[in-house]
Amino acid sequence: MLTPGLPGWLPPAVGRAVAVIRDDGPPLNKELVLRLAADKRMEAVWREVGKRRRTWQGRTISNKPITWEEALGVFFLQAFHFAALPVPAITTAKLDGLCKAYERGAAQLRTLAKEMAQLNQSLPLSLLLQHECPTLWEDVDHGANIIKAAGQLQSIAAALANIHSPHIVARDFGKADERGYVRSLAEIARRLFGSPLYGTIATVANVALQPKSPITPKQVINWCSTNKGGQ
């Protein structure tokens, strides 16, 4: 049964997803979800996606099999979430720079902790205590806390070094938000429907992001390409 107030061409599974976000989400999210649900341009999106049903052989998400209707719902929800919580594209060079910065920070903290330990050992403790001077000895956890912070920075560096994401690109061509959106959604389309659906992704991006200059299928192809610097 179609959710009241939504167009008749909207797939019922998508209508149910719309109802959940519309009823429970903040105002800005409601505006976005209704635009994705009711904008006339989206009718062509669902018509094009529907053509994939003839050859659809089932898919899995998080190791769980999903139905065709569930696949439509997942595609819509991802189109919504990628716009509501945008993750811009980032170059490999910038990501590598961030990784190295965290590694440097971790090394600096470990050096500081070592120096603090050496200072503690050289303190004339009895003299300081006699004159009630504050010392690092008053909190023996300072060094341990610094070592812990260093470990956290090192963990972040390791995580950054092992990220595999469509948001990571080889070059910066600008429009990082748009690139991040279409690359992510094209990957979802490929996983769900066996094709990146470049033209369809361009339409969804224009509806969701409302860019000043319309995103074209050619741009989507270039942004999603694995050659010619598209990544």
DSSP the chain: -PPTTS-TTS-HHHHHHHHHHHHHS-HHHHHHHHHHHH-THHHHHHHHHHGGGGG---EEETTEEE-HHHHHHHHHHHHHHHHHS----EEHHHHHHHHHHHHHHHHHHHHHHHHHHHHHHHS-HHHHHHTT---GGG-TTHHHHHHHHHHHHHHHHHHHHT---TTEESS--S-HHHHHHHHHHHHHHHHHHSS--HHHHHHHHHHHH--SSPPPHHHHHHHH-SSTT--
Strand pairing report for 168-169 and 90-91: parallel
Res 230 pLDDT > 60: no
How does pLDDT run across 116-142, given as a tens digit for each residue? 777 766 666 666 666 555 555 555 567
The more confident residue out of 164 and 81 is 81
How does pLDDT run across 2-45, given as a tens digit for each residue? 555 789 999 998 998 888 887 766 666 888 998 999 999 999 99
| Residues 53 and 71: beta-carbon distance below 8 Å | no
Predicted TM-score (pTM) of this structure? 0.76
pLDDT of residue 203: 97
Query: Which sign does the torsion angle of CA 48, 54, 59, 65 carry?
Result: positive
DSSP 37-70: HH-THHHHHHHHHHGGGGG---EEETTEEE-HHH
The more confident residue out of 220 and 25 is 220
How does pLDDT run across 140-168, given as a tens digit for each residue? 567 788 889 999 999 999 988 887 778 88
How does pLDDT run across 205-219, given as a tens digit for each residue? 999 999 999 999 999
pLDDT of residue 126: 63
Place of tokens 């590598």: 96
Report d(CA 43, CA 23) in Å as an integer. 23
Query: Which sign does the torsion angle of CA 77, 32, 81, 55 carry?
Result: positive
Res 227 pLDDT > 50: no
| Residues 208 and 35: beta-carbon distance below 8 Å | yes
Six token digits for residue 36: 């994705």
How does pLDDT run across 86-98, given as a tens digit for each residue? 888 888 888 889 8
How does pLDDT run across 180-202, given as a tens digit for each residue? 999 999 999 999 998 999 999 99
Single-letter residue type at 201: I
The more confident residue out of 136 and 83 is 83
pLDDT of residue 1: 46
Strand pairing report for 64-66 and 168-169: unpaired
Res 228 pLDDT > 50: no
